[in-house]
């Protein structure tokens, strides 16, 4: 457990929540027609669900990455194998041939679970092998707590000349929200026609009050891995309620003090409690 905790905190914090705002896209018309592929790795089928939703939403072809030596152990065994491979900096394991020819596609939606803070080994192995220059890569991932931002930063380092969008990520515990969120993601990125409310920027970071402390505890109390102690918060009006960005005092992979950002949604809907949506380390 300790080893796993160290591994999942390996990621660095890359995105700040104070005043971050993507350009509002109230209306969008689809880009010119391009040939799209949704390519993914999924060990326990969560990322596969997102892949299928995306493929249907953008009428893309669908294929999966299959390692020659499958990761078919338990969660703990997979964590152990993943960590060992990362520590030894082992060459990525072999991937079976795809059913599609990637060269034929302009846009590749590239999906993976987060493993030890970054894209799962088989997905990374595929990414390292293929020349994606001239294509648009749209990463998507599923995770226990977070990892989209860090994993995308790693992909960009590995392929600096490839156009890699910010991508979409969702906690596996919230997978039932994926269809709605994907729709919004596609509209905001000008991929699908439609309208979404402009995103309101987060306010300034400030001290938490007791109510906000209660919101953090209600959203994160059940999460089995430590998310740190909230020390600051900022908030903004969200689609159906309020969104909070808690800055927490946490620890990095080496056990040194570090800060993380934990995002929580509080819905206006009756009977829906505060929901932790992601952590950015
Ligand atoms: C080896 C391993 C390492 C993981 N590391 C992380 C992690 O660092 N951060 C995280 O939020 N979730 C982590 N998870 C949880 C997975 O990202 C999450 O369960 C994901 O939705 C699984 O996707 P899949 O069903 O498509 O395989 C890890 C899971 C495994 C098996």
Q: What is the CATH number of the domain that holds 102?
A: 3.40.50.360
CA dihedral 92, 93, 96, 101 (to 10 degrees): 10
Question: Is pLDDT at 16 greater than 70 in this prediction?
Answer: no
Q: Are residues 151 and 86 in the same domain?
A: yes
- pLDDT tens profile 123-174: 999 999 889 999 999 999 999 999 999 999 999 999 999 999 999 999 999 9
11 CA: nearest ligand 1 atom: 8
For residue 147, give every residue at least 6 positions away whose Cβ sits within 8 Å of its Cβ, in sequence order, or none: 11, 114, 117, 118, 141, 169
Q: Are residues 165 and 211 in the same domain?
A: no
For residue 180, give every residue at least 6 positions away whose Cβ sits within 8 Å of its Cβ, in sequence order, or none: none
pLDDT band at residue 95 using 50, 70 and 90 as cut-offs: confident
Whole-number Cα distances in Å, 200 to 143, 263, 274:
25, 15, 19
Domain end, chosen from 147, 174, 195, is at: 195
Residue closest by Cα to atom 23 of ligand 1: 113
Does 8 reside within a domain?
A: no
43 CA: nearest ligand 1 atom: 27
For residue 235, give every residue at least 6 positions away whose Cβ sits within 8 Å of its Cβ, in sequence order, or none: 202, 203, 212, 242, 243, 244, 245
In the prediction, which pLDDT does 91 show?
62
Total count of domains within the chain? 2
Q: Are residues 78 and 182 in the same domain?
A: yes
Inter-residue contact 7 to 144 (CB < 8 Å): no
C-alpha span between 111 and 45 (Å, rounded): 11
Bridge partners (DSSP) of residue 262 are: 246, 279
Higher-scoring residue by pLDDT: 245, 34:
245
In the prediction, which pLDDT does 252 show?
81
User: pTM of the entire structure?
Assistant: 0.89
In the prediction, which pLDDT does 13 show?
34
Give the CA diameter of the chain: 56
Does 98 reside within a domain?
A: yes
What does the pLDDT average to over 86-97?
78
Does 148 reside within a domain?
A: yes
Residues with CB under 6 A from ligand 1: 8, 42-48, 75, 78-79, 82, 113-117, 142-147, 172
Q: Are residues 136 and 264 in the same domain?
A: no
């Amino acid at each position: 457990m300790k080893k796993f905790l160290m591994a999942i905190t390996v990621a660095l914090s890359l995105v700040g929540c104070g005043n971050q705002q993507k350009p509002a896209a109230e209306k969008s018309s689809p880009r010119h027609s391009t040939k799209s592929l949704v390519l993914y790795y999924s060990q326990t089928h969560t990322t596969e669900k997102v892949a299928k939703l995306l493929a249907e939403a953008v009428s893309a072809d669908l294929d999966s990455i299959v390692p020659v030596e499958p990761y078919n152990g338990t969660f703990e065994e997979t964590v152990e194998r993943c960590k060992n491979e990362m520590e030894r900096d082992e060459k990525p394991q072999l991937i079976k041939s795809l059913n599609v020819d990637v060269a034929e596609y302009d846009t590749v939606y590239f999906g993976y679970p987060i493993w030890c803070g970054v894209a799962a080994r088989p997905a990374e192995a595929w990414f390292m092998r293929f020349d994606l220059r001239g294509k648009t890569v749209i990463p998507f991932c599923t995770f226990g707590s977070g990892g989209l931002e860090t994993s995308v930063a790693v992909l960009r380092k590995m392929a600096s000349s490839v156009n890699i969008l910010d991508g979409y990520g969702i906690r596996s515990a919230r997978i039932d929200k994926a269809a709605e969120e994907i729709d919004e993601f596609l509209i905001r990125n000008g991929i699908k026609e439609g309208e979404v409310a402009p995103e309101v920027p987060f306010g300034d970071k400030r001290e938490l009050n007791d109510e906000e402390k209660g919101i953090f505890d209600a959203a994160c109390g059940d999460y089995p891995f430590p998310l740190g102690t909230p020390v600051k918060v900022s908030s903004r009006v969200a689609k159906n309620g309020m969104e909070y960005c808690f800055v927490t005092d946490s620890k990095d992979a080496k056990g040194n003090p570090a800060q993380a950002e934990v995002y929580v949604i509080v819905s206006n809907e009756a009977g829906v409690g505060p929901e932790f949506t992601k952590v950015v380390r």
